[in-house]
Amino acid sequence: MVMTVGNRLDKNNELMSKDLELWMCNPVECIKELISNPAFREHMMYAPECVYGAKDGGEESRIFDEMWMAEWWWKLQEMLPPGTCISGIILFSDKTKLSQFSGNKTAWPMYLTIGNISKDIYHQPSAHATVLIGYLPVSKLTCFTDDTRSLAGYSGKEGVDMVCADGFIRRVFPILAAYIADFPEQCLVACCKENRCPRCLPHWMIIGTGGIHLPSRRTGCAQATSPSRLLSPHTDIFASFTPDLLHQLHKGVFKDHLVSWCTKIVGAEELDRRFKAMNAFAGLRHLKKGISTVLQWTGREHKEMQRLFLGVLVGAVSTKVLTVVKALINFIYYAQLQLHTTRTLDAMQADLNTFHAHKQVFVDLDIREHFNIPKIHSLQHYVDGIRHLCSTDGYITESPERLHIDFAHFAKKAYRASNRRNYTEQMTLWLQRQEAIALCSVYIQWYHKEQNSASDESDTDSSDSEDNMGSPSGMPRVIRIYRLLHGAQNIIPTLANFLKLHFKSSPAPGIYDHFDISTQISLILPRNRYLSDQPRSSHVRAIPPVPAKSRSAAKPAVFDTVLVIEDPSQYDPSSEMTSPRPAQIRVIFKLPPQFGTYSHPLTYIE
């Protein structure tokens, strides 16, 4: 129980107080459990690293990816005794509603993970690398008692001996590195107004001005009642606030500000007309109803609109406005990279400088009077924040939201297992039982994995192929149908030339030969370390028109445009003479066995 003293007086002229339930785990014990879990042994680091990429212009480019590559870890490691290990604590918090439609039941869960574990692992709810450490009291607190103090404070000052996943015992210093929360919660923790910055101390008249070095909020909060004074001396709570891609960039700077400014210039009807006129293409969403009628946007829809927005504005606004729009969208795309180098950070800062240098155009057009907007101000903290804690994909605010919904151990499913009375206590008991089952399951999986790896070598996965044709659509069709529905007028002579080149004894194709066709093909793209470590695919479609049937309306044909390399053996990306040429996919099919055996699907292009 935590006693909270308010600022209101009761009938006896004394300050009113209220006892609140605070359900929590000892965070140090949670860190011990995470850092000693053998399932994370291959994904755990105990010391900082400096990683450099290929030389660019004679200089090596430093890479910022995982937390152990961040400047924060290096600076802090120099302040601690030699041989010690830092456990960078990452906290997530997100207030959520538990009841549906009525009841007004809410919970404020707090999640914890450590930066020693790879971000790809602790973002997976099924990996159990992020643990629930407590439920904060849901109340409008006005002040706190003076005897409140942190349980983890002493471990951050003196360190704790912990058994690590590799079997070694290390002196570990659990220190708060990152606090992931939306903007209102950041301001609540920083004890500042929501029209101010929780990281620094800008004057309200220059909050939207770029290129100005502002003092850290830590230097001005020595006398404030801030949680930072309760933590380890190595913790800077204000520098631990991470960028919020969803609320600051996608929803804030882009949708709430940039789109609304451009809508005032172009007009809502004209902007909708331009979105409707955009051609449909694989990977791009066709907003066939425009954007003015959409009442509720998701983060995915914001990203889809960003891909189209610059092209929609061409010809509708001046070059100066396009310069600002391009700079902001480039900045947003750079901010989403999963791996940064000094070169990408320099380009990111250059785009931000371009925005501030040309944003005056919106004032000249009477769209804005000033740019003193907290979300605009937050842009200047992104580059320093990435250097401080590495790439932003490790600290996305969608993580606690996914934990609410997907992870069976957390808030909403636990609430539904209760009888809705004293639900916090029941949720805690339910979670203890579920965590015990999860730990047992993880141990069994790890044990069998160790046994299998000791006896057998795992087979190499060769599922990644250059292309993957979808299932044949319906019965095999004859070539004359392709010529009619797909517009493939020259498919017979083109196929005959292909067969002469690869199968000299193959019979000549005719208009009544049957072929299995597919409406799309998946192309496996090369891995891009800046975007994802996982293989990516791109879908190419060749769909004939579908006539109206019953209550279903007719659907037009979809034949995607691609870039084709005519002769791969002579292709040179730096030469214009061998550059790919555009083509339209008309038919995707497999070669029938009577003509020969070919390992890949074929496409007819025009």
Ordered DSSP codes for 223-279: SS--GGGGS-TT--TTTTBPP-IIIIIIIIIIIIIIIHHHHHHH-HHHHHHHHHHSP
Q: Concatenated DSSP letters for 342-410?
A: HHHHHHHHHHHHHHHHHTHHHHHTTS-S----HHHHGGGGHHHHHHHH--GGGG-THHHHHHHHT-TTS
Query: Residue 284 corresponds to which tokens in the numbers above?
Result: 């791009």
CA contacts within 13 A on the Cβ side of 2: 20
Kindly state whether residue 12 falls inside one of the protein's structural domains: no
Contact 44, 117 (CB under 8 A): yes
Out of 355, 389, 423, a domain closes at 389
Tell me, yes or no, whether 553 and 582 share the same domain. yes
If we measure between CA atoms, which residue out of 333, 303, 307, 492 comes closest to residue 398? 303
Least confident segment among 186-200, 278-292, 472-486, 504-518: 472-486
The residue among 243, 272, 307 that closes a domain is 243
Q: Is the pLDDT of residue 446 over 80?
A: no
- Supply the range of the domain harboring residue 168: 23-191+226-243
Residues 372 and 496 reside in one and the same domain: no
Same domain, 511 and 597: yes
Query: How many folded domains does the chain comprise?
Result: 3
Q: Which of 162-171, 221-230, 538-547, 549-558 has the least mean pLDDT?
A: 221-230
Query: Does 14 map to a domain?
Result: no
Do 282 and 236 fall within a single domain? no
Tell me which of 217, 243, 269 is where a domain ends.
243
Distance CA 318, CA 261 (A): 13
Residues in the chain: 606
How far is 603 from 606, CA to CA, in rounded Å? 10
176 and 30 inside one domain: yes
The verdict on 581 and 473 lying in the same domain is yes
pLDDT, tens digit, 9 for 90 and up, residues 319-369: 999 999 999 999 999 999 989 999 999 999 999 999 999 999 999 999 998
The model's confidence at residue 105, banded by pLDDT at 50, 70 and 90, is: low
403 domain-assigned? no
How is the beta sheet containing 467-469 ordered, strand by strand? 467-469, 520-525, 536-543, 558-559
Contact 317, 268 (CB under 8 A): no
150 and 36 both lie in a single domain: yes
Residue 439 pLDDT > 80, yes or no?
A: no
Q: Are residues 324 and 289 in the same domain?
A: yes
Exposed/middle/buried for 199, CB within 10 Å: 0-12, 13-18, 19+?
buried
- How far apart, in whole angstroms, are the C-alpha atoms of residue 321 and residue 327? 10
- pLDDT per residue over 284-319, tens digit each? 888 888 888 877 788 788 888 899 899 999 999 999
In a domain, 128, yes or no: yes
User: Which residue from 283, 259, 232, 22 is spatially nearest to 141, judged by alpha carbons?
Assistant: 22
Q: Is residue 416 part of a domain?
A: no
In a domain, 441, yes or no: no
304 domain-assigned: yes
230 lies in the same domain as 282: no
- Mean residue pLDDT of the chain comes to 79
Q: Which residues are paired to 86 by β-bridges?
A: 173
What is the Cα–Cα distance from 308 to 246, expressed in whole angstroms?
Answer: 18
Amino acid occupying residue 136: L
> Do 330 and 358 reside in the same domain of the chain?
yes
250 and 181 share one domain: no
54 and 169 housed in the same domain: yes
Q: 533, 527 in Cβ contact below 8 A?
A: yes
